[in-house]
Structure 1
Amino acid sequence: MLRVAINGYGRIGRSVLRAIYENGFRDRLHVVAINELSDIETISYLTRYDTTHGRFPKPVSVRGQNLVIGEDEIFCTNAKAPEDIDWAELNVDLVLECSGAFSAREQVQRFVDAGVPRVLLSQPADAEVDATIVYGFNESKVTAEQTIVSAASCTTNCVIPVLDTLQSLAGVVHGTTQTIHSAMNDQPVIDAYHTNDLRLTRSAISSIIPVNTGLGRGIARLMPELAGKIGCNAIRVPTLNVSVIDMVIQTEHPVTVEQVNTALQVAASSKYANLLGYTQEAHASVDFNHDPRSVIVDGTQTQVVDGHMVKLLCWFDNEWGYANRMLDVACYWQKLLVDGAQH
């Protein structure tokens, strides 16, 4: 079992902790520490109550500086920098970096230099990290010797299984994606001075707001054969959670709607079982809140124009789905370490 610390206890950090207890990860991952600038009472309160995902499924209380979940005691620190924590005393095997504040390897290396054996990032990182992983697609690239790994992004985890399926079915020539993403905590409720990105100074609850996205870089890193061939845009919309990607792909070989949907259904029950979903029901975004899968393709929206242009609608819970994928990567890493120790 890995002794885990969560650095940054925001939307993803809290989803990660909750998923550990709710989705069966607790027998392999034991959270022993949380580093969050907020005080212990606020940490406890936001663990117990969540507007998006509901009440925490287990009893939560506070004992000194410990967050108590059932019989587990999790020590909470309020350090601003990785080197301000005595990781050796905490005997931490893995830090789940969920603050979003570290992406360059030299930044993340501060955790390693401070005594952390391994760091798993909850955001895309630069190319210098040991590996960028989309679970189900390339987790085999993780090794026991690596120290810094990224679990990519929620959008990359959404599109890669779909692109991989289309690539196998008919070949991908080029395409575009439009991410329609729920509001995030880097946006103000009302217009505010807090960032140099002028669009992100505008009220999250009043507008549809274009934002920058690194999805194109993420696709290129995971599928180098598509580098420069997928254009990506993103907008934020006034919803709490669940996002969707409108994907248009030009295929090398002609296909039909039936062939595309069948290929996705097969992938959902084989290579990407429990990661890629497929539906023919009439859904709205709220139906996928708290859905642990990486992507759910809405087959009712699949279109094929002139045999080669495929249009798909791909739903994903940008919080819960991603948190579960991050934990899948952590458990894969844990198994490598256990297997290596046994040999």
Structure 2
Amino acid sequence: MGSDKKIKIGINGFGRIGRLVARVALQRSDVELVAVNDPFISTDYMTYMFKYDSVHGQWKHHDIKVKDSKTLLFGEKAVTVFGSRNPEEIPWGETGAEFVVESTGVFTDKDKAAAHLKGGAKKVIISAPSKDAPCSWLVSMRRITSQTLMLSLMLAALQTVLLPWPRLLMTDSELLKVL
């Protein structure tokens, strides 16, 4: 993968972890948030919760607003919003999402998380405990360009994990679990 290519991600679940992943992704030049799925939250409420986070404070990097019921605008960047309860029905491939961050806490075993692959995702990152998905711990890694990419892992509680970014998770496994 070239160093100038952005990793396109989708997020399933726009609760605490999903919004945290979105905040980090939107501040990185090598990651592009292309889609969010949450069947229980309207785009208006997604916008409100993202702007006024009770832990991280008010979002001040660029404006976020609702374009329509299926699109959020982060500055000029359009992000597609889906509202499907079934991961198999989420068309991740249509948005170009290569990685899906599974942050609902519901689809945590291999078979359930693999449903995202049917929608076109290439890999799934599970953000909650899993009984059968592999666990990955990454602290630093050398890129092909010999630059060191450092990661911070925040392990305050099980549901407040800061995920290492997908560029580091390019492995043969399609399902990855990060603690």
The verdict on a shared fold, with TM-score over 0.5 as the criterion, is yes
Q: Look up the match of 1:123.
A: 128
Shift in CA distance, 104/51, structure 1 to aligned 2, threshold 3 Å = same
1:1-80 equivalences in 2 (<5 Å): 1-22=6-27, 26-37=28-39, 38-57=41-60, 58-64=62-68, 65-80=70-85
Q: Secondary structure at the match of 2:57?
A: coil
Q: CA deviation at 1:318?
A: 6.2
Q: Could you list the runs of 5+ residues in structure 1 that have no partner in the other structure?
A: 141-272, 276-292, 296-315, 338-343
Q: How does 1:76-115 map onto structure 2 within 5 Å?
A: 76-115=81-120
Corresponding residue for residue 169 of structure 2: 333
Amino acid at match of 2:9: V
Q: Deviations over 1:205-230 (max 9, x none)?
A: xxxxxxxxxxxxxxxxxxxxxxxxxx
Instruction: Write 1 or 2 for the structure with the bigger share of helix.
Output: 1
CA distance, structure 2, for counterparts of residue 122 and residue 134 of structure 1: 12
CA distance in 2, matches of 1:108, 1:39: 23
Q: Which amino acid aligns with 2:137?
A: V
Q: Which ranges of 4 or more aligned residues in structure 1 deviate by more than 2 Å? A: 316-320
Name the counterpart of 1:189: none
Q: Is the 8 A contact 2:7 2:31 kept in 1?
A: yes
Query: Which has the greater radius of gyration?
Result: 1
Matches of 1:13 and 1:91 in 2, distance apart?
A: 18
Q: Relative to structure 1, is the Cα distance of residues 105 and 69 closer, same or farther in structure 2, using a 3 angstrom cutoff?
A: same
1: distance between equivalents of 2:166 and 2:113? Answer: 17
Hey, what does 1:222 align to over in structure 2?
Answer: none
Q: Does structure 2 retain, via aligned residues, the 8 Å contact 1:97–1:120?
A: yes
Q: Write the letter of the residue equivalent to 1:8.
A: G
CA contact (8 A) 2:90 2:116 kept: no
Aligned with 1:15: secondary structure? helix
- 3-state DSSP of counterpart to 1:32: strand
TM-superposed deviation, 1:114? 2.9
CA distance change for structure 1 residues 135 and 114 in 2, over 3 Å: closer, same or farther? Answer: same
Q: Residues 9, 86 of structure 1: CA spacing in aligned structure 2 closer, same or farther, 3 A cutoff?
A: same
Secondary structure at the aligned position of 1:52 is classed as coil
**In structure 1, C-alpha distance between the alignment counterparts of 2:35 and 2:119, rounded to whole Å:** 15
* Alpha carbons of structure 1 residues 319 and 19: separation in structure 2 relative to 1, 3 Å: farther
TM (norm. structure 1) is: 0.42
Residues 1-343 of structure 1 mapped to structure 2, 5 A cutoff: 1-22=6-27, 26-37=28-39, 38-57=41-60, 58-64=62-68, 65-127=70-132, 129=133, 131-136=134-139, 275=152, 293-294=153-154, 316=156, 322-323=161-162, 326=163, 328-333=164-169
Deviations 1:90-122 (CA, angstroms, capped at 9, x unpaired)? 221010111111121111121113322110011
The question of whether the paired residues in 2 share the 8 Å contact of 1:124 and 1:132 is answered with no
Asked if the contact 1:15/1:319 (under 8 Å) is kept, the reply is: no
User: Structure 2 regions of 5+ residues with no counterpart?
Assistant: 1-5, 143-149, 173-179
Displacement of 1:317 in angstroms is 6.8
